[in-house]
Chains A and B, each alone.
Chain A
C-alpha cells in the first residue's frame, strides 16, 4: 500500500516569509495529491490539490508542486500571515478509494 512521509513535523517562520512543506509517496501509480489545513480545535479542510498531469498549481499565496519522477510533492505558502498558523496534512491515494495522510506539519507564524 501507499506510504506517505511528511517533513518537517514543525516549522516556524517569520510573518511575511515563505514556508515549504514536503511529502514523499511510494506508489508510482498515485495520481492525486491534496493538502489539508487543520486549525486548532477545528476539522481538516482541503486547501489545494494537484493531479499528476500537471507539475504545479497555484491559488493566491498557496502553491503545490509535484515531481512524479522523484515521487514527492510540496506545499508552498508565500507572504505568510498569522492566520496561516495551523497543522498541514498531505495525502496520497492508496488503491482506488482511500487516501493515506502524512503525519502533519505544525506551522507557526511569528509576528
Chain B
C-alpha cells in the first residue's frame, strides 16, 4: 500500500514568510508525529496526534509553530514568520500504535 507522503519535497522561503507543510499518513494509522531534523543532527520531536485526543505539543520550539490534523487523515505543520534557524528537514511519521513508526520522505525547508 501507499506509504507516508509529504509535500512539498523542498521549500525555499524568505525570512519572515509563513510556510505550510503537509503530511498524508498511511490509511488507518491513528498516530501521527512531526519531527525536525537539522543537518547532520538527530530527530527532534515536535508534535504528536492520536485519534481525536488532544495533541501532544510539548516539542514545539515556539509559538510560531503550530499543527493541525483532521480526524485520522492529513496533517499540516505551519511555521509563521520563518527564521533562518528553522531551516531543516521536517519529517512526518505515522503508526498504528506507539511502536513501529513509518516515516515520510520529509520536506527540506530552507529559509533565506
Q: In the bound complex, what is the Cα–Cα distance between A93 and B41 (angstroms)?
A: 20
Q: In the bound complex, what is the Cα–Cα distance between A32 and B101 (angstroms)?
A: 12
Is A99 a contact of B98 with CB atoms below 8 Å? yes
Interface size on A, residues (CB 8 A): 19
Q: Does A89 contact B (CB under 8 A)?
A: yes
Question: In the complex, what's the smallest C-beta–C-beta distance from A11 to chain B, in angstroms?
Answer: 15
| Chain B residue at smallest Cβ distance from A96 | B98
Q: Could you say which of B48, B91, B99, B104 contacts A49, with CB atoms under 8 Å apart?
A: B99
Question: In the complex, what's the smallest C-beta–C-beta distance from A10 to chain B, in angstroms?
Answer: 11
Please report the number of residue pairs spanning A and B whose Cβ atoms sit closer than 8 angstroms.
Answer: 45
Q: In the bound complex, what is the Cα–Cα distance between A97 and B30 (angstroms)?
A: 11
Is A34 a contact of B56 with CB atoms below 8 Å? no
Contacts of A42 in B (CB 8 A): 105
Question: In the complex, what's the smallest C-beta–C-beta distance from A3 to chain B, in angstroms?
Answer: 13
Question: In the complex, what's the smallest C-beta–C-beta distance from A48 to chain B, in angstroms?
Answer: 11
Is A43 a contact of B106 with CB atoms below 8 Å? yes
Q: Could you say which of A43, A96, A97, A101 contacts B42, with CB atoms under 8 Å apart?
A: A101
Q: Could you say which of B48, B50, B99, B104 contacts A43, with CB atoms under 8 Å apart?
A: B104
Is A43 a contact of B91 with CB atoms below 8 Å? yes
Q: In the bound complex, what is the Cα–Cα distance between A43 and B93 (angstroms)?
A: 10
Q: Does A29 contact B (CB under 8 A)?
A: no
Known A-B contacts A97-B56, A98-B45, A104-B42; the reply to A34 vs B105 at CB < 8 A is no
Q: Does B21 contact A (CB under 8 A)?
A: no
Is B31 a contact of A97 with CB atoms below 8 Å? yes
Q: In the bound complex, what is the Cα–Cα distance between A101 and B100 (angstroms)?
A: 13
